[in-house]
Chains A and B, each alone.
Chain A
Amino acid sequence: MTAGRGNSMKLTVNGTEIEIDADPEMPLLWALRDLAGITGPKFGCGIAACGACTVHVDGVPTRSCSVPVGGVVGEITTIEGLADGDTLHVVQQAWVDERVPQCGYCQSGQIMSAVALLDGDPDPTDAQIDEAMAGNLCRCGTYPRIRAAIKRAAAEKAKMGA
C-alpha cells in the first residue's frame, strides 16, 4: 500500500498553497518537515513540552508536533515566512542584534512565540514575557538575551509605528 498516506490535502503555508498526501493523523510538524520539505519548525519532544516546533495558525502560536495535520484549519506561518525577502522581520533582526542564538536549534520556535507575543501585546512586561515564553525550552540557556531581544523588538516596533 502507499502506506502512511491516505488523503490528498491542501495547506496554506507562508502564503502559498501546497498539496500533500498524508494520513490525517500525522502531526502537522512531520507533514511540514518530511512531506513539504519545510524544516524551519524543529522536532524537540513531540508532546508539546518544548516549543521547538512552534508555528502560527492564523497568527496563533501552535505546537505543530501535537496537532494532526488533518485538523488544521487556517493559514500556517513558519519561521521561513517571517522575513520579507532579504529583510528580516523586526523580531529576527532583534535576535541578530542581541546575538541570541547559541546552537540555534530552539530559536525558530522562540522567535515564533515572540512574534505572536508582540503581535498581541506591543509592550509586554517582564512577567508577560516569562509567561508567553515559558513553553519554549532552550538547553543553551539563551534566556537573558531572549528577554533583551524581545524588548529591543518592542522598541523597534514602537518606533516604526510612531
Chain B
Amino acid sequence: MSRLGKITRRTLLVGAAVVAGGVAFGYYQYRKPYPNPLDGETAENEATFNPWLKIASDNTITVIVPRAEMGQGVTTTLAALVAEELDIALDDIEVEHGPAAYAYYNEVMTEEGPFPFYDESFTANAMRGAMKVAAKFLGIQGTGGSTSTRDAFEKMRLAGATAREMLKAAAAGKFGADASILTTAGGSVTDPVSGQSATYGELALAAAGLPVPDVALRPRAEWKLLGRSQPRTDMRAKVTGAPVFGIDVALPDMLFGTVKMSPRLQARPKSADLSRAEAMPGVVKVVAIDTGYGHGFGVIAENTWAAFKAAEAIEVDWEDASYPADEAGIAARLNEALDRRDGGSLRDDGDVDTAFADAPAENVLSAEYRVPYLAHATMEPMNATAWLRDGKLDVWCGNQGPTLVRQFCAGAAGLEEEAVLVHTTMMGGGFGRRIELDAALYATHMAREAGGRPVKVTWTREEDTTHDVYRPAAAGRFRARLGADGLPVALDMNIATPSVLKSILGRTFPSISPMGPDRLLSEGAFDQPYSIANYRVTGTEAELTIPTGFWRSVGNSFNAFFHESFLDEVAHAGKVDPLDLRRKLMADYPVALAVVEKAAVMAGWGTPLPAGRARGMAFTISFGTWVAEVVQVAEVDGAIRIEKVFCAADLGTVLDPAIVKAQMMSGIVFGLSQAIGQEITFADGMVEQSNFHDYDALRINQCPEIEVELLENAPRMGGAGEPGTPPAAPALANAIFALTGKRIRALPLSKEVDFV
C-alpha cells in the first residue's frame, strides 16, 4: 500500500476521534492510527480503502464487520453503515469478519465508568472521553456491552463516505469532469452531463491511493438503508445447516478432542490415573492442561465421541476449592458482605441515615432479596480448533475478543503474536461467555501435542455447564420510608455480590488491578432515573473466588430484579399504583416516563382483566437503552402461565427495527428463563447442575406472546443486545404478586410457584 494510503487512514481516524469528542490529554498518541490490517493482504486486483472496505476490479465489494455475529445481526447492520454511504445494496457486498487487529478496537465498551447513562454532567462526559482513550490504548477488539452499533455508527459510515468521495475523485480524473457534479448509484459513478459512467471496480485501484477528503455524513432524512429493516445477510446459511460455526470447522487430517478440567473450579489435580483413558479405542494422547484459567486434562482422539468416552475414564483426585464448598458457605459470604457494607455508594442523595433515624416503624418497609449463580448455556458448547505447525498457529473459534485470543494463544504456543492467525467464526450464542479465552487456550495447549495436526476441541455440555464463568450470586437488604402520600421519602439499598471485574482481570490481565468504584456491583440499581429525596445504593464485594463473568446485562441482571421488585413493594405498601408511582418519581426523566407510558398503553394497564389474570411492570435503563416491560400472567390449575409481554424500548436511534425487536424479544426470553427456573448451586466445591435436564431455559410451550415497540426520544444511542433482559424477571415477579399476593424475593421463582 502506498504512503498516501497511510495518510488516508490517519485522516479517517482523526475524523472519527473528533466526532467522538477529543480529549485534551494524550491526544496526539490517541489519534495515531493503528495500521490497516488489510494492507498487504489484498488480492492483486483488489484495493483497500480503510480497515473496513475492499473493492476488487471485478466489482466484488467486501465490507469487514470486525464484530462477532452471535445472532444480534451485526453482519447486517454494520455492513449497512458502509453500504448506506457507498450507495450500494446489501446484496451487492460480501461481509467478512476480517483478522484480529487493534484497528478494530471497541471504543465504547469501556465507556460508562461510575456514571448513570443519562448523566450529562461535565465530569461524566470527561470520564467517558477518557475511557475511550484508554480503550484505544488497550486496543481490545471486543463484542460486548451492547456496543457494536454504537461503536461503529460513525466509524463505518465514514469508511463508506470517504471511499465514495475517493471513487468520485478517481472518476473525475477519468471523465475530465468536476467531482462535485458526479453521482453514485448501484456501484457506479456517473457524470450526468456527459453520460459517462464507471463501476467502482474499474475505479478502485486508482481511487484507493488518493487522499481522503473531509466528508459530511448523510443526515438521517437521506438514509435509504438505515432506519429500515434489511434482509439479514446470514439467513440462508442458517436455514441450510451451512458450516458457519466453530464446531463445524473441518481441516485436512484433523484430530478431535475434548477437555476434562477440575470440577472444583481452578483447583489442581493432586493425583491422576490416565491409563484407562489412554488405552481406550480411538485415543491418540491425553495431555495435562495447566493454565491461569484452570487445570485438568485434554484428550486428543480420532473422533469426538472417542474423546468424550476417554475423558470420562480419566481418574483424578482434585484439590479443594478456594471458595466455600456449598450453598450455606456461599450464603455466609454474601451475608458477611451485607453486614460489612463497606463498598462504595454510587448513589447517595440526601441524607439516608437521618431519614430513617426518626422514621415511625409503621412507615418503614424492609426486605431481603437473593439470586443464585447462573450459567450462560450457549446453545453451541464451548469449542475451538488449533493448528500449530512450522512456527505458526491458526486458531478457529467463535469469540467476542479476537485480539485477546491472539495474545493468549501466542503465549500458550510460545510464539509472537504475528505468528498467530485467529479465524473468528459465527457463534452459536455468546451472551458474554465467548469473551473468555479458555476454549481457545486449551485447544492451543493440545495443539502443541498434536504432532503438527489440527485438533478440534469440543466440550461436552456437562463440561460447559460445570466450567462456566458464572453470573454471580447476589443478596440485598433494602428498606424504604414512606411519606404520608404513600410515596417513598427514603430508599436504602445494600447489595452484596462478588466482583465480576476482579474475576475477569484476575484471569486475563493479572497485572492490572481494578481502580475506583466497581459499577458492576450495583448497576441496574444505582443508575436508575427516579427522584427520591434520600436515596442510597451501596454495592459491597463479597469474597467469593468462583469464576464469574459477563452474563447478558451483567449487574443489571440481578439489580433490576432487586430494585424493581422492591419498588413494587413500596408502591403496594403505599397504596399507589405502580404506574402512578413511576409518573411521580420519574417526572424529571421524560424519556423514561415515555417508555413506561407506552408499555402501559400496549398492555392496557389499568383496564380490568378476566379473573385469574394479572399484570406486573418493571423499568430499567441499561447500556443506554430505556426499557419498560409489562408481563401478563394467568393462573392455570394452580400454576402460572406467562401469557404476554409488552415491551417499549427507547434506543435513541434505531438502525434496523426488525433486528432490534428480535434482540429485545431475545433478551426478554433470556430474562424469563433465569426468572422461572435457572440456578447453579455448589456442593463439595462442584457445580451440581450439568445439562439441560437440570439447567433448562424457557421452551416454546412456555413462551408468551411478545410485543415490542421502539421509541426514539433518547438523545444518545443505546445498545440492543442486553437491555431487554433486566426488566423481565421483576415484571414477572410483580405480576405474580398482583395475581397471588405472594411476594417472591428470590430467584428462580420456580422455588415458590410452578410454571406451565
Chain A contact residues, CB within 8 Å of chain B: 1, 3-5, 23, 26-27, 30, 33-35, 37, 39-47, 49-50, 52, 78-80, 82-83, 88, 92, 95-96, 99-108, 111, 129-131, 133-134, 136-147
Q: Assess whether B668 is in contact with A45, with CB atoms less than 8 Å apart.
A: no
Closest 5 CB pairs of A and B: A4-B282, A40-B241, A141-B669, A105-B428, A102-B71
**Residue of B whose beta carbon sits closest to that of A111:** B239
Which residues of chain A come closer than 8 Å to B665, judged between CB atoms? 141, 144
Say yes or no: is B545 at the interface (Cβ < 8 Å to chain A).
Answer: no
Q: Assess whether A103 is in contact with B692, with CB atoms less than 8 Å apart.
A: no
Q: A47-B693, A50-B379, A104-B234 are in contact. Are A4 and B302 (CB under 8 A)?
A: yes
Q: Assess whether A104 is in contact with B281, with CB atoms less than 8 Å apart.
A: no
Looking at the complex, which one of A3, A33, A99, A136 makes contact with B283 (CB distance below 8 Å)?
A3
Which residues of chain B come closer than 8 Å to A136, judged between CB atoms? 700
Q: Assess whether A52 is in contact with B303, with CB atoms less than 8 Å apart.
A: no
Which residues of chain A come closer than 8 Å to B662, judged between CB atoms? 99, 102, 142, 145
A126: shortest Cβ distance to chain B, in Å? 10
Q: Assess whether A139 is in contact with B239, with CB atoms less than 8 Å apart.
A: no
Looking at the complex, which one of A4, A101, A104, A141 makes contact with B668 (CB distance below 8 Å)?
A141
Report B299-326 CB contacts with A as 1/0, cut-off 8 Å: 0011111101000000000000000000
Q: Assess whether A103 is in contact with B70, with CB atoms less than 8 Å apart.
A: yes
Instruction: Count A/B pairs, Cβ under 8 Å.
Output: 194
B675: shortest Cβ distance to chain A, in Å? 13
Q: Assess whether B458 is in contact with A143, with CB atoms less than 8 Å apart.
A: no
7 A-B contact pairs sorted by A residue (CB < 8 Å): A3-B282, A5-B302, A26-B305, A47-B693, A88-B236, A99-B662, A102-B70
B721: shortest Cβ distance to chain A, in Å? 10
Chain B contact residues, CB within 8 Å of chain A: 69-73, 231-232, 234-245, 247-248, 250, 256, 280-283, 301-306, 308, 377-381, 426-431, 458, 460-461, 658, 662-663, 665-670, 691-693, 696-701, 703, 705-706
A102: shortest Cβ distance to chain B, in Å? 3
B306: shortest Cβ distance to chain A, in Å? 4
Which residues of chain A come closer than 8 Å to B231, judged between CB atoms? 99
How far apart are the CA atoms of A37 and B237 in the complex, in Å? 17
Interface centre among A23, A50, A137, A140 (most CB of B within 10 A): A140
Majority secondary structure, A binding face: loop
Q: Assess whether B377 is in contact with A88, with CB atoms less than 8 Å apart.
A: no
Q: Assess whether B669 is in contact with A92, with CB atoms less than 8 Å apart.
A: no
Q: Assess whether B305 is in contact with A107, with CB atoms less than 8 Å apart.
A: no
A39: shortest Cβ distance to chain B, in Å? 4
Q: Assess whether A4 is in contact with B305, with CB atoms less than 8 Å apart.
A: yes
**Residue of A whose beta carbon sits closest to that of B704:** A144
Looking at the complex, which one of A35, A39, A145, A147 makes contact with B241 (CB distance below 8 Å)?
A39
Q: A45-B692, A104-B428, A140-B666 are in contact. Are A96 and B236 (CB under 8 A)?
A: yes
Known: A88-B239, A105-B380, A139-B697. 18 other contacts (CB 8 A): A3-B302, A4-B302, A4-B305, A26-B305, A42-B245, A42-B247, A44-B381, A47-B693, A83-B240, A102-B663, A102-B666, A103-B70, A103-B379, A103-B427, A104-B426, A130-B700, A139-B431, A143-B698
Q: Assess whether A134 is in contact with B700, with CB atoms less than 8 Å apart.
A: yes
Looking at the complex, which one of A3, A44, A129 makes contact with B379 (CB distance below 8 Å)?
A44
Which residues of chain B come closer than 8 Å to A41, judged between CB atoms? 241
Which residues of chain A come closer than 8 Å to B302, judged between CB atoms? 3-5
**Residue of B whose beta carbon sits closest to that of A105:** B428
Q: Assess whether A105 is in contact with B283, with CB atoms less than 8 Å apart.
A: no
How far apart are the CA atoms of A144 and B379 in the complex, in Å? 18
How far apart are the CA atoms of A111 and B241 in the complex, in Å? 10
How far apart are the CA atoms of A103 and B427 in the complex, in Å? 6
Which residues of chain B come closer than 8 Å to A34, judged between CB atoms? 256, 303-305
**Residue of A whose beta carbon sits closest to that of B73:** A102
How far apart are the CA atoms of A45 and B693 in the complex, in Å? 9
Which residues of chain A come closer than 8 Å to B306, judged between CB atoms? 3-4, 23
Q: Assess whether A139 is in contact with B250, with CB atoms less than 8 Å apart.
A: no
Which residues of chain A come closer than 8 Å to B256, judged between CB atoms? 34
Q: Assess whether A144 is in contact with B240, with CB atoms less than 8 Å apart.
A: no
How far apart are the CA atoms of A43 and B668 in the complex, in Å? 25
How far apart are the CA atoms of A140 and B721 in the complex, in Å? 11
Q: Assess whether A102 is in contact with B72, with CB atoms less than 8 Å apart.
A: yes
Q: A101-B235, A104-B234 are in contact. Are A79 and B240 (CB under 8 A)?
A: yes
How far apart are the CA atoms of A106 and B241 in the complex, in Å? 10
Which residues of chain B come closer than 8 Å to A107, judged between CB atoms? 238-239
How far apart are the CA atoms of A40 and B240 in the complex, in Å? 7
Which residues of chain A come closer than 8 Å to B73, judged between CB atoms? 102
B210: shortest Cβ distance to chain A, in Å? 39
Q: Assess whether A1 is in contact with B241, with CB atoms less than 8 Å apart.
A: no
Q: Assess whether A49 is in contact with B241, with CB atoms less than 8 Å apart.
A: no
Q: Assess whether B379 is in contact with A143, with CB atoms less than 8 Å apart.
A: no
B307: shortest Cβ distance to chain A, in Å? 9
